[in-house]
Chains A and B, each alone.
Chain A
Amino acid sequence: MQFLRLPLKYRLLIPLIVVLLAVLIYPLIFSFWVSLHDYRLTALHEVQFVGLANYIGLSGKMSYWNALRNTLIFVFLAVGLQTIIGFGLALLLHRPSRFRNFFRAVLLTPMFITPIAVGLMFRFMLNLQVGVLPYLLDKVGVTIDWFSPRLALFSIILIDVWQWTPFMLLLLLAGLESLPVEPFEAARVDGASAWSTFWKVTLPLMRPVLIMALIIRMLDAFKVFEYIYAITQGGPGERTETILWHIYKVGFRFFRMSEAASMAYVLVLVTLVLVVALYYNMKRGEYRP
C-alpha cells in the first residue's frame, strides 16, 4: 500500500494510468515492436527482427503516399468547409430569434447518426441511377456523377461536411455563448460596424475555441473510414484511398501487420506535427483584452 502515501496529485492519476496502460500503452508498445519485425499473421513462426526495414520500405510504396495525400486533401477541405459553414451558422443561431431552439436542435442532429449509416444512406441517395438527388437534379437539367473519378473524393468530403458541420456549430456556438459582453459593448459605443466588430472582436476572442475545435475535428477527420468502407472502397482507381482504409487493407485483408504498423506510426508523426503547430499557434496568439 505504498502508493497511498503518494501526494494527492499522483494518487488522482492512478485510475487513469491503470486504464490507459491496459488499453492504450500496451497496444502501442506492442504495435511498435511489430513494426520492427517481419510479422505476418499467416506465418507467425517465422517472425524475425528487421529493424527499420519496414519504414524504409514505405518510401517506395506509392499507394501509401497517395493515400496520405488523399487524406490530407480530405482533412483540409472537409474541416475547412465545416469551419466556414459552422461559423456562419453559429453566428446566425447566436442571434435571438423565434425558432432558434428548434433550428439549433435540428441542425445538430447529423452528428448523432453513426457514420456507417450516413455513408450507406448517401451511397443510396447519390447513386446516379436509383438515387433521389440525381433524380431531382435531373429535373432541373443538371447531371452530376457524384462518384466519378474527378468528384468521388469531393463527394466524400461533402458527406463529411453534412455529418460534422454540426459538431463545429456546436463548439463554436458554445464558444460564442461564453464570450464576455464587455468588448462588444465597447465596440458598439465606438460605433464599429458589424463587419469590423466581427473581425476585430469576435474572431480574436473566438480564436482559442476555434483552434481547439479545429484540432479535435482534424484528428477525427484523419480517421475517416466508414464512408470509404460504405461507398467507394478506395476507388475509382485510388482516388479515395485514405490512410486508415489503406492501413486496414494491408493489415487485415493482406495480413501484413508489420507494414501496417509502420504506416500507422508514420501517420502519427504527420498528425503530431500538424497538431503541435496548431497548439502552439493557439498558445502564442491568446487574446488578452
Chain B
Amino acid sequence: MNIYRRRRQLCSIVITFISLAALVAVLFPYFWIFLTSFKPPGLVSRPDVWFFVPSFYNWEDVIVRGGTIRYIFNSIIVGMVTVAISLSVGSLAGYSFSRFNTGGGGARFSILAAKMLPPAVLIIPLFLLMYELALLDTLIAIIAAHLTFILPLVTWFLIGFFDEIPRELEEQAMVDGATHFQAFYKVILPNILPGLGGAGIFAFVLSWNDMYYAMLLAGGDSKTIPVAIAGYWTFRGIEMGKMAVAMVAAITPVLVASFFVQKHLVKGLGGGGLKY
C-alpha cells in the first residue's frame, strides 16, 4: 500500500513538473516579447534588463502611426472568406465523396495530394492570372491563393465527418418527402456542425499564418498581418521594439479567441474527421 502511494506521489510530481515545463516553454516567449514591446529603444538588445520604466514609444509608433489595426483586419477578412468558401464548397463535395464514393479512393487521395503541392509551383501562374483579372494587390488574390491549400484540406476533413453520419438519417428524411439535397442541408449538415466548426477554425489558422502568398500577391493597403510583421525587418535591421508591438497586437486577439474555441476544436475534430 505504501509503495503504491509513493509511486502515485512520484507520478504526480513528475506530471506536475512536465506540465510546468511545457507551460513555461510556451509562455516565456510571449512574456519576453511583451516585455520588449515596452522597452525604450536603448534597452531592446539588453537581455539582462528585466526591470525598467516602461516606454510607450513603440506602441504609439506602431498602433497610432502604423496601420497594424488595418492589417489585422485584412487578415481577418481573408481568413473568414477563405473559411466560408472552403466550408460551403468543401461540404458539398465532401458529401458527394463520402456518400456516393464519387471517384473512389483515388479521388479522396488526390484531394489530399493537392495539399502537398509546393507553393512555388503555383505562385507564378497565380500571379499572372491575378494580373489578367486586375486583382493583384487586392484581398481577393490572397483568398484565391489560400484556397489552393485550404480547400483540399477542409474537404478532406469533411469527408471524414460525413462518413461518421449513419445513412439512415437522410434516408429517413427522404422517406418523409425531402429531396436528397434537402436531406443533405436540413439533416446532415446540422449534424456535422461541430465538425464544420473545427475544420473552419483550423482553416482560419492556416490562412492567418500564411506569409508567402500574401507577400507576393498583395501589398500596400492590402497587406496582411504576417507581411506587416515581416516588414519590421528592414534593410537597416530588425526593429525589434516595434515588431514586438505588432506581434503582441497580432497575437493577442488570436490567443483570446483560441481560449474560447479550443474546446470546440478538440470536440469538433474528434467527431470523426480524423479517420481517413
Direct contact of A and B (CB under 8 A): yes
Bound-state CA distance A258–B116 (Å) is 20
Contact indicator B47/A131 (Cβ below 8 Å): yes
Contact across chains for B229 and A114 when beta carbons are under 8 A apart: yes
**Contact between chains at A112 and B124 (CB < 8 Å):** no
Contact yes or no, A222 B100, CB < 8 A: no
How far, in whole Å, are A237 and B59 apart by their CA atoms in the complex? 38
Please tell me which one of the listed residues B18, B120, B226, B265 contacts residue A247 in the complex, with CB atoms under 8 A apart. B120
Cβ–Cβ contact A264 & B120, under 8 A? yes
Asked whether A116 lies within 8 Å of B211 as measured between CB atoms, the reply is: yes
CB-defined contacts of A23 to chain B, threshold 8 Å: 122, 126, 144-145, 147-148
Known A-B contacts A13-B93, A105-B262; A28 and B122 likewise in contact (beta carbons under 8 Å): yes
Stretch at the interface among A46-54, A57-65, A141-149, A207-215: A207-215
On B, residues with C-beta under 8 Å from A are 15, 18-19, 22-23, 25-27, 29-30, 32-33, 36, 45-48, 85, 88-90, 92-93, 95-96, 99-100, 102, 109, 112-122, 124-126, 128-129, 144-145, 147-148, 151-153, 155, 180-181, 198, 205, 208-212, 216, 225-226, 229-230, 232-233, 238, 240, 243, 247, 250-251, 254-255, 257-259, 262-263, 265-272, 274-276
CB-CB contacts below 8 Å: A69-122 with B: 88-89, 92, 95, 99, 101, 103-117, 120-122
SS class, residues of chain A in contact with chain B: helix
A170 within 8 A of B: yes
Which of A117, A171, A260 is close to B229, meaning CB atoms less than 8 Å apart?
Answer: A117
Residue of B nearest to A8 (CB): B180
Bound CA–CA A129/B45 (angstroms): 8
B230 adjacent to A116 (CB under 8 Å): yes
Quick check: is A135 within 8 A (CB to CB) of the other chain? yes
A116/B226 contact (C-beta < 8 A), A13-B96, A130-B46, A275-B113 known:
yes
Set of chain A residues within 8 Å of B88, measured between Cβ atoms: 15
Which of B112, B181, B225, B274 lies in contact with A171, CB distance below 8 A? Answer: B274
Q: Report the minimum CB–CB distance from A182 to chain B (whole Å).
A: 17
Contact assessment for A108 and B262 in the assembled complex, using a CB-CB cutoff below 8 Å: yes
In the A-B complex, the 7 residue pairs with the smallest Cβ-Cβ separation, listed nearest first, are A27-B125, A174-B270, A9-B100, A135-B47, A16-B93, A12-B96, A30-B125
- CB-nearest residue of chain B to A25: B114
B-side contacts of A252, CB under 8 Å? 216
Contact at B276–A247, with CB atoms within 8 Å?
Answer: no
Q: Could you list 21 A-B pairs, sorted by A, with CB under 8 Å?
A: A9-B96, A12-B95, A22-B129, A31-B121, A89-B22, A99-B19, A111-B205, A112-B209, A113-B209, A121-B29, A124-B238, A132-B32, A135-B47, A162-B26, A177-B267, A178-B271, A209-B274, A212-B274, A247-B120, A263-B120, A264-B117
- The answer to whether A230 has its CB under 8 Å from any CB of chain B is yes
Contact in complex: B240, A124 (CB < 8 Å): yes
Taking CB atoms and an 8 Å cut-off, the chain A residues in 235-283 that contact chain B are: 243-244, 247-248, 251-252, 257, 260-261, 263-265, 267-268, 271-272, 275-276, 279
